[in-house]
């Protein structure tokens, strides 16, 4: 009786906890890349659920059909040879499941690494996202502005994030827009995203990088292209310019709030694309040169 009430108590407690949970962010996509990832997760969950249900159904059937009976002490079960059909199913079904999930995974990986579907003909908004202990710096070279610990992006436009770090390896992740990607100190990695729904999202470093890791987060706000352009103009006219001295101060370990600057640190501290880039060196140099001339 005690075991029964304990079990019921656990079930009620679990239901109470789950009803108070917010939707899992990776399963609440707001962009095409995140939508692809969410679909893969659901396919994996459905596949595993089918396997579990079938296995438990077979377990119940076997326990009932072949349960112990009142046989005599000298009863000896008949000799049975191996069944090739059963053995084929035991080996073949897991192989089929692995092949299926492998195809889904490879196909989705290529999709999330490429420019989001439907945005191939649009010019992406390029944002350099660099990390330091324990903050994020977002440089908009085309707009010639920079923010710290917050990111404004337009909806319905491809986004090209160029990631690197001023310290240990970090991981740039906006769960509702796409998967994570590493930012390293001696090379630039590229992440393609797009936001289709205006709103506020959470971004963070998902790779442990020291004692301040837990608060190494940033705010993301997706808005209409018109609102984004208005924000850019406001920053250009009201924000203080970033200087090399100020930027060196920002790189000191510690936590900061949201900050906004005109200009970018790329002018005096360029990204390390010249040595270990991924084919973006020429394009990036042209953009930075154009920004400098402006």
pLDDT in tens, 247-277: 999 999 999 999 999 999 999 999 986 433 3
* Residue length of the chain: 294
Largest Cα–Cα distance in the chain?
Answer: 98
Question: Quick check: 131 pLDDT over 90?
Answer: yes
Q: Which CATH superfamily is domain 125-293 in?
A: Cupredoxins -  blue copper proteins (2.60.40.420)
What 3-state DSSP class applies to 219?
strand
Q: Quick one: average pLDDT of 190-217? A: 92
Q: From CA 168, how far away is CA 227, in angstroms rounded?
A: 35
Question: Quick check: 36 pLDDT over 80?
Answer: yes
Q: Is the pTM of this model over 0.75?
A: yes
Mean pLDDT (the chain) is: 86
Whether the CB-CB separation of 189 and 258 falls below 8 Å is answered with: no
Q: Are strands 135-140 and 170-173 parallel, antiparallel or unpaired?
A: unpaired
Q: From CA 87, how far away is CA 101, in angstroms rounded?
A: 22
How do residues 231-250 score in pLDDT, each as one tens digit? 999 999 999 999 999 999 99
Residue of 286 and 78 predicted with greater confidence: 78
- The dihedrals phi and psi of 169, each to the nearest 5 degrees, come to -65, 130
- The dihedrals phi and psi of 103, each to the nearest 5 degrees, come to -60, -45
The domain locations on the chain are 25-63+85-114, 125-293
- In the chain, DSSP assigns E strands to 125-132, 135-140, 145-148, 150-154, 159-165, 170-173, 181-183, 189-193, 199-205, 217-223, 259-262
Q: How many helices, marked H, and strands, marked E, lie in the chain?
A: 7, 11
| Tokens at 245, concatenated | 């001295």
Q: Are strands 259-262 and 145-148 parallel, antiparallel or unpaired?
A: antiparallel
Q: Quick one: average pLDDT of 36-61? A: 94
pLDDT value at residue 10:
61
How do residues 150-166 score in pLDDT, each as one tens digit? 999 999 999 999 999 99
Query: In sequence order, what are the beta bridge partners of 249?
Result: none
Percent of the chain with pLDDT over 90: 68
pLDDT value at residue 86:
85
pLDDT value at residue 292:
41
Write b or e for each residue in 222-250: b if 16 or more Cβ atoms lie within 10 A of its Cβ, otherwise e.
bbeeeebeebbeebeeebeebeeeebeeb
Q: From CA 149, how far away is CA 85, in angstroms rounded?
A: 60
For 100-158, give the DSSP string: HHHHHHHHHHHHHHSPPTT-TTSPPEEEEEEEETTEEEEEETTTTEEEESEEEEESSS-
């Amino acid at each position: 009786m005690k075991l029964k009430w304990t079990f019921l108590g656990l079930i009620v407690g679990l239901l109470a906890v789950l009803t108070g949970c917010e939707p899992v962010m990776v399963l609440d996509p707001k962009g095409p890349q995140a939508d692809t990832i969410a679909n893969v997760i659901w396919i994996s969950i459905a596949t595993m659920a089918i396997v579990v249900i079938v296995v438990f159904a077979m377990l119940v059937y076997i326990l009932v059909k072949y349960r112990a009976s009142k046989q005599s002490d000298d009863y000896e079960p008949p000799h049975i040879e191996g069944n090739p059909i059963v053995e084929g199913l035991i080996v073949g079904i897991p192989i089929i499941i692995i092949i299926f999930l492998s195809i889904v995974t490879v196909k989705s990986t290529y999709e999330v690494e490429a420019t989001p579907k439907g945005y191939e003909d649009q010019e992406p908004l390029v944002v350099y996202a660099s990390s330091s202990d324990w903050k994020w710096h977002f440089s908009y070279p085309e707009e010639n502005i920079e923010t710290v610990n917050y990111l404004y992006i337009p909806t319905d436009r491809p986004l090209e994030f160029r990631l690197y770090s001023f310290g240990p390896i970090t991981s740039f992740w906006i769960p509702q827009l796409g998967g994570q990607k590493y930012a390293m100190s001696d090379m630039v990695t590229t992440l393609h995203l797009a936001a289709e729904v205006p709103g506020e999202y959470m971004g963070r470093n998902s790779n442990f990088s020291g004692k301040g890791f837990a608060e190494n987060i940033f705010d993301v706000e997706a808005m209409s292209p018109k609102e984004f352009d208005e924000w850019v103009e406001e920053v250009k006219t009201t924000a203080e310019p970033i200087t090399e001295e100020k930027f060196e101060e920002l790189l000191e370990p510690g936590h900061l709030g949201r900050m906004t600057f005109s200009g970018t640190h790329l002018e005096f501290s360029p990204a390390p694309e010249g040595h270990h880039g991924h084919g973006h060196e020429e394009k990036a140099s042209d953009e930075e040169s154009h920004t400098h001339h402006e």
